[in-house]
Structures are given as structure tokens and as C-alpha cells.
Amino acid sequence: MRTAFNARLATIDDQVLAMARHVRTAMHAATKALLETDLHLAESVITDDADLDNRAHEVEESVYRLLAQQQPVAQDLRFLLAALHNASALERMGDLVMHIAKTARMRYPMAVVPTELRGIIVDMGTVASQMVANTAVALARQDLTTARSLRDMDREMDRLHRELFIIVLSPAWEYGVQAAVDITLLSRYFERFADHAVTIGDRVVHVATGASTEPVVPRQVNGPVNPR
């Protein structure tokens, strides 16, 4: 009985991990589509998001059935509630990635990102990809060091977010209102993506230790939304 139960927990673990891998691939592709003005790649990111939504729904169903049929307590219960949270966070991260791809598609064949800002957007994409890769490592190995590293990476994302706003709002900005609006939203998507990754890291710590230094309800962490 216990073995069957453990097998079902492991399946849920695999489902969440597969979602993290999906989001990692999608973030890499969306940033590439944005920076290389690649319509085909943008379209594929947008189309594939439906798979992620379905996966999140499957995790929720699996958790619900397991809670209803078994009486998990302590760490197993924490694990299942964390899986519920993490699937929801990853589904939302996928939405944000899709919005990045939609921005690329909306302006095609024009580039969204002015040359001057490409470096920062490249960095944001790199940090975002690393963060979701780290959530996958933290989830797969219950690796608390990696889980906790996400807060440091989020601080780096917040720094990039602020740097971008300083440039957009400087008197020297020469790309007009539409580019400013596009960059504002893009920057917000990356920043929110990072916030969600942090909440997954926090849950990994919570499942392993039963402790949380922060309320474990998803929330904005560190990130001033109006960083100006």
C-alpha cells in the first residue's frame, strides 16, 4: 500500500519536474524569438503553452485524488500541497513566457528591443533560464542550497529590472512611447517570472524542513514593481 502510495507521489513529482523542464525550454525559446525576431519560434512557444496548462490541471487532479483516497500527513501532505503550488506557479511562469513570445509576434517583422537594451534583455533571459533550471534541480534532488540560491538570483533580476527602467525613463530615451511600453511590460514579465521561481524554491525548503522563514503563500518577493 505504502509502495503504491509512494509510486503515486513519485509520479506527481515527475509531472511537476516535466513542467519545469517545459518552462525552461520555453523561456529559452521565447527570449531567442524576441531577440532574433523569429516569428516561427514565437508561434511555437505560444502554441505549446496549452500543453503546460493541461499538465498543471493533471497535477491538480492527481493531488486531489491522492488527498481524497489516502490520508497523507506531515511531509507527504506538505509535498502534495507544494506540488499544487508549484504546478500553479509553473503554469503562470509559462503564461509569462507566452507573453514574451506574443510581444515578439506582435511587432514582427520589427524588433521589439532597441539595440542599446539588448544586453540587459539577454541578461534577463539568462537569469530567468537559470532560475527555472535551478527550480528543476531543487525539485529533483530536494537540494536546499539550490532552492535557496533562487532568492539571490531574484535580486539580480530585480537589479536588471531597475536598470532597464532607468534607461527607459531617462531624458535620452529616443525610441518613443511604443518601445517604452513594450519594454516596460517585457521587464515586468521577466521580473514576475523570477518571483514565481522564488516561491518554488521556498516550497522545496518548506517540504524538506517543515519550516518557512516567509509566509509560503505565493507573494511578490523583493521585487519592487515600480522600481524607479
Return residues touching its own copies (CB under 8 A). Answer: 53-54, 56-57, 60, 64, 67-68, 71, 73-74, 77-78, 81, 84, 87-88, 91-92, 95, 99, 102-103, 106, 165, 168-169, 173, 176-178, 180-181, 184-185, 188, 215-220, 224-226, 228
Minimum CB separation of residue 135 from its own copies in Å reads 17
My answer on whether omega of the bond before 109 falls inside 30° of 0, hence cis, is yes
3-state secondary structure of 213: coil
Instruction: Decide: 24 and 136 in contact? Cβ < 8 Å.
Output: yes
Instruction: Decide: 155 and 223 in contact? Cβ < 8 Å.
Output: no
Which residue number, 130 or 193, has a Cβ lying nearer to its own copies? Answer: 193
Half-sphere exposure of 39 (CA within 13 A, CB side): 6
Which residue number, 146 or 189, has a Cβ lying nearer to its own copies? Answer: 189
Minimum CB separation of residue 14 from its own copies in Å reads 18
3-state secondary structure of 138: helix
Amino acid 52 reads L
Which residue number, 1 or 74, has a Cβ lying nearer to its own copies? Answer: 74
Which residue number, 94 or 130, has a Cβ lying nearer to its own copies? Answer: 94
Minimum CB separation of residue 165 from its own copies in Å reads 8
Minimum CB separation of residue 5 from its own copies in Å reads 14
Which residue number, 7 or 73, has a Cβ lying nearer to its own copies? Answer: 73
Minimum CB separation of residue 167 from its own copies in Å reads 11
Instruction: Decide: 19 and 56 in contact? Cβ < 8 Å.
Output: yes
Residue 222 gets the label, from left (phi > 0), alpha (psi -120 to 50) or beta, of left
